[in-house]
Amino acid sequence: MPYRRSLVLLSTMVVATLLVPAVSHASMICNRLRASLVSEPEVVGDTAAMRRFSSAIARQNFEIRKARQRFFDLRCGSPSVTDYAAMNRPECAALSADIKRLEAEKLQLAERREAARSGGTQRNEVRGKILAMMEANRCDEEPVEADVTPADPPRTPYLDMVAPRLGTDGFPTGGWQNGAGDLQTLCVRSCDGAFFPISSNTTPLTFRRDAELCRQMCPGIETELYFRSVTEPESGEMISTVTGRPYRQSPTAFSYQSRRKGDQPSCTCNLTDFYRKMKAQAASANVPDYGSSVIDLKTAGKPAPEDVRPSAPVERPYDPTEKKVRQVGPVFLPSETSGIDLRHPALSGPQPVQQ
């Protein structure tokens, strides 16, 4: 077994330490101990199981808060103080038993999480013995050569993941060229822990944009952007883009679920107004078609001519006596004095001769 082989190797080193003069070969012994320490990694336990138990404890705390709220609503007193008059009521006695059962289950989950954390106890015993030998040989007092390797720059949580993906031109390279990823971003209200999704199949490149959208959707309310893998079913395991802590460690995690039915939330997000503003901005935005090969060159044209309408003719009164029309040709009819009225002769007898 690896554990037994490590113990045998450690025993051999102890014997070699006793046989070699400590003064002349102290540096060699310490170097061997350091090499053995490097080959024995420190085991911190099953992190996946620890995350599952932590999420279960967070949900158990929510169930306990809900049961205690129900206990107060029924005027059963306080779960920490026994009210014998209220305990005679069957509903109060049942709720008190449920609260005790939930707290016992929470303790069991905490014990199982602690067991998962200390899963590498045997492996860590070897490290402890090596460290004890190093202390006995005063290896820590020896001058250690300075590491000339430059230290890594301080991390910016999750934003330093973007830098290796950017090319010299500032555009994303590698697997994020098409903007697709395997993350989902969620907006979390700090007041009651309520959350809703922002983007899916995204990358850390969009964290700044999604954080700004989260702030605009909930104006005047403290919000925080979280993310998780699209394959992660547990909401308590989503990670804050600001602090890097999981959602289950938030003081208000799942607090919105303890709100009684019909009660108004302490803080709300105005999503209707946000989408109305976005729709108005999209309608008023004039985005050029960069994908088209046709370029429209607009030039300043000539001003349009003014619409000049002809003036209306002046109306003049008609006077038949003022004839200023030139007459050309003979006169065929006599004047009115010598005219003949064939229908009504003026004189009896023969008519006068026409002139």
pLDDT of 105 above 70: yes
Cα–Cα distance, 344 to 191 (Å, whole number): 118
In the structure encoding, which two tokens stand for residue 260, read together? Answer: 């009684």
Closest CA to 42 of 122, 150, 104: 122
Residue type for 320, please? P
So what's the pLDDT on residue 146? Answer: 47
So what's the pLDDT on residue 188? Answer: 92
Cα–Cα distance, 33 to 26 (Å, whole number): 11
Cα–Cα distance, 350 to 55 (Å, whole number): 142
| Packing angle of the helix pair 271-284, 207-217 (nearest 10 deg) | 120
So what's the pLDDT on residue 224? Answer: 93
Is the Cα dihedral 22, 25, 30, 32 positive or negative? negative
Cα–Cα distance, 160 to 158 (Å, whole number): 5
Cα–Cα distance, 67 to 99 (Å, whole number): 6
Give the distance, in angstroms, between the CA of residue 275 and the centroid of all CA atoms in the same chain.
15
What are the helix (H) ranges across the chain?
Answer: 2-19, 26-39, 47-73, 84-87, 90-117, 121-136, 207-217, 271-284
pLDDT of 245 above 60: yes
So what's the pLDDT on residue 354? Answer: 54
Cα–Cα distance, 139 to 134 (Å, whole number): 5
pLDDT tens for each residue of 278-323: 888 777 765 555 555 666 667 766 777 777 777 778 787 777 777 6
pLDDT tens for each residue of 21-51: 444 456 788 888 777 777 766 655 567 777 7
pLDDT of 187 above 90: yes
Overall average pLDDT of the 88-105 stretch: 86
> What whole-number percentage of the chain has pLDDT above 70?
58
